[in-house]
Amino acid sequence: MSDKRTSKDEQLDTFRTDDSGKHTTTNQGLKVSEDEFSLKAGERGPTLLEDFHFREKMTHFDHERIPERIVHARGFAAHGEFELYEPLKKYTKAKFLNDTSRTTPVLVRFSTVAGSKGSTETPRDTRGFATKFYTEEGNYDLVGNNIPVFFIQDAIKFPDLVHAVKPEPHNGIPQAASAHDTFWDFVANNQESAHMVLWTMSDRALPRSLRMMEGFGVHTFRLINDKNESHFVKFHWKPKLGVHSLVWDESQKISGKNPDFQRADLYNSIEDGDYPEYELGIQVIEEKDEFKFDFDILDPTKLWPEEDVPVQIVGKMTLNRNVDNVFAENEQVAFNPGHVVPGIDFTNDPLLQGRLFSYTDTQLIRLGGPNFHEIPINRPVCPFHNNQRDGYNRQTINKGQVSYHKNSLWDNTPSPASEEEGGYTHYNERIDAHKIRARSESFKDHFSQATLFWNSMSDHEKDHIIQAFSFELGKVENESVKKQVVDMFANVSLDLARGFAENIGLDAPEQGGSDVTKSSPALSQANTVHSPSTRKVAVILGADFNGNETHSVLEALKSEGMMPEIVSAKQGKLKGAGDVEFSVDHTFSTADPVLFDAVYVAGGKHEDPSFKQNVHYYVSEAFKHFKPIGATHEGVGLLEGGGYVGQSGVIHNDDLHTFSEEFGKAVAAHRHWDRQLV
């Protein structure tokens, strides 16, 4: 855990409590003498209405659940800090983006989108990546996703999208899944979704870890400098560990083996001191270049190719402290893209415009009224003063008789601040237009960037997309919907449409295709950072394992940042040759190969048939999911005969230095896609 304390930590200290060693009291501070039995008229008589302790305790329990978020219900948060690499005075007057001498406290909440609060954490889905910066000028919320585009262009269609992807209303099925008729019917009849659908059918929708996925602000915002000059901007979070994913079969199995897989990974990493790090990047377009591209930069279904508009890395965020209480911090935190500071403003992106209303409106019902900003996790670190009063859950005790503007009793205070005093002013954008319900012609190309994304994928990524379409549409019952989707994505790529059409029993389309040949290497995970750091390795040991050699290998793995965990038949201590002893972390029945990044089989000299069967399961599952597999000494014999020896990513060598070096490289590669499945 970090020793650094932020201003937000100090503020939260006021609200933190440790109840250990204390007497039980009511919420009014009255010590209670009994907390096991309600007050009754005789030992076997009825409970009395005057039992105020029972009524308070039960009433609180009855009201402990607040409405879950309609989307992003399943999530987990962590605290951290943001440090700026270089001042951005050229672009913005925001103080936290100009002062490199101080760090800014942050809270990040990661989430899935479609599922309920109790759903699994590894479905095929978009992931939320929302960051609250507690700045000296007020809270700034960068409310984004791990995908840079969205399904729709106008916020008025957001309820329709969510209704379509949620469980179907006639039977409440399926949970946290888009593989059903109503979602794909929406896609086929709202073709602006084509680009986003390619992303969600790709590996990006199956992140290996919340620590290994990008974050995007999605929308085009404005940066305003102290000369009142405007630049268009998109925000990016780049994970230092690179962008890596699960495979679909693995993802489904993890849902059953550990539905808390993502939050446990994040929580444990922070507790172990392996703090997740993300660099903040910005793409900037000058106002004069607004119309120079072959897409509309305000269209939320479009990205700015990094080859055309480079990402400038400007700072780093480190998550270094877990929340103390999941409800108080993770559930009650309220994000809103409308929470901005001077120097950051909005554009006319119609999806963003709608979100500016929707998020506030949502918090009013979810958190019980207009005072959600007074909940400790939402309070800014700077003072706030205004004439707002009353309402549910008011915590501020405002003194004095004035609660209006303008006034003479308090010399017209609290009063607005000038721009020079830090008062927020909107960019003075000229608008001259007719009121109209319509969409700009520049928003009507729905397929070019979807093709750009397809062209940018490696061969194995393209295969995964085809298999994802095949699975999702294989669950769709309506043949007309299937046919419409095939015809729609023939406009993106005939290879794509033909690939999944045949898998779902439809004729391959004859017409379609795209003239777009451009690709963007930045979109492929094949070009990401590769490191063995924080990778979990299942180390399979049996009785009388080769002690000194195994110890040397484990130390070598740890030196490269890997996290070996011992798996064996029984818990407790396991002794090997040379009196080397390890504590068993997991048994074969309490862990599973899908929960690890790699498998290392050291084996043992006395292995019964049951042990060998479990080893075969671990190796075969890891092999099927293209994961690295290592073996030394007795472990090598357990690989022989299964067709694994000589395959890509399978390392076996009794020279410990060579083995450790080669196995480390195999783990860093993440997956070995050229492996021939046996």
Instruction: Report how far residue 145's alpha carbon sits from residue 123's, in angstroms, rounded to the nearest whole number.
Output: 15
**DSSP SS3 for 211:** helix
Helix axes 350-366, 158-165, angle to 10 degrees: 70
Catalytic residue among 53, 79, 145, 625: 145
Residues 6+ apart with CB under 8 A from 321: 1, 2, 9, 78, 79, 80, 270
For the chain, the straight-line distance linking the first and the last C-alpha, in angstroms and rounded, comes to 44
Is 446:195 a contact under the CB 8 Å cutoff? Answer: yes
Instruction: Report how far residue 657's alpha carbon sits from residue 264's, in angstroms, rounded to the nearest whole number.
Output: 32
Is 598:667 a contact under the CB 8 Å cutoff? Answer: yes
Task: Say whether 72 is catalytic.
Answer: yes
Catalytic residue among 53, 72, 373, 670: 72
Task: Say whether 530 is catalytic.
Answer: no
Q: Given the DSSP bridges, would you call strands 598-603 and 629-631 parallel, antiparallel or unpaired? A: parallel
Residues 6+ apart with CB under 8 A from 117: 68, 69, 73, 74
Instruction: Report how far residue 223's alpha carbon sits from residue 90's, in angstroms, rounded to the nearest whole number.
Output: 9
Report residue 319: phi and psi, to 5°.
Answer: -95, 115
Measured from the Cβ of residue 401, the count of other Cβ atoms closer than 10 Å reads 8
46: preceding bond cis by omega (within 30 degrees): no
- DSSP H or E segment with residue 230: strand 230-239
- In 568-596, which positions are buried (b, 16+ CB within 10 angstroms) versus exposed (e)? bbeeeebebeeebebebebebeebbbbbb
Give the position of tokens 């069967």.
613
Amino acid at 546: N
**DSSP SS3 for 367:** coil
Report residue 282: phi and psi, to 5°.
Answer: -130, 140
Instruction: Report how far residue 133's alpha carbon sits from residue 340's, in angstroms, rounded to the nearest whole number.
Output: 10
Instruction: Report how far residue 665's alpha carbon sits from residue 678's, in angstroms, rounded to the nearest whole number.
Output: 23
DSSP notation for 301-352: T----TTTSPPEEEEEEEEEEE-S-IIIIIIT----TT---TTEE----HHH
Could you tell me the two tokens for 33? 């003498």
- DSSP H or E segment with residue 106: strand 104-112
Instruction: Report how far residue 3's alpha carbon sits from residue 520's, in angstroms, rounded to the nearest whole number.
Output: 41
Instruction: Report how far residue 493's alpha carbon sits from residue 483's, in angstroms, rounded to the nearest whole number.
Output: 15
Catalytic residues: 72, 145
